[in-house]
Amino acid sequence: MTGVSFITNHARVLLCIARDPGTRLRDIAVCVDLTERATHGLVSELCEAGYLTKHRLGARNFYELHPELPLRGADQGDHKVGELLSLLLDRGPKVEA
């Protein structure tokens, strides 16, 4: 079945970064199967929303996730981003901040 996705591109970007916080934008784009430009926009949006903090180390960026933040969207209740990442990464019940 094509065209069906249960995970947003924002969540897919977060998953790639959760696996490797030092990953390059180019590698994130490959991971989520999007252009670098689209991926840059998603990373920027996640930074602006506070879900990521970008740090510069020499010539490279690395990203700090903020799993304690709430999921956004309708009917999300009190669930945190870290809960979703833990489920998708198979790391147990939650990602600690």
- Phi, psi for 52 (deg, rounded to 5): -135, 150
- pLDDT tens digits along 39-76: 999 999 999 999 999 999 898 999 999 999 998 865 66
Fold held by 9-89: Arc Repressor Mutant, subunit A (1.10.10)
Displacement of CA 19 from its chain's centroid (Å) = 9
Q: Tell me if 82 sits within 8 A of 15, measured CB to CB.
A: no
25 C-beta neighbours (distance < 10 Å), count: 15
**Token code pair at residue 23:** 């990953």
Residue with tokens 């960026």: 61
- Whether residue 19 is predicted with pLDDT greater than 90 in this model: the reply is yes
- pLDDT bin (cut points 50, 70, 90) of residue 96 is low
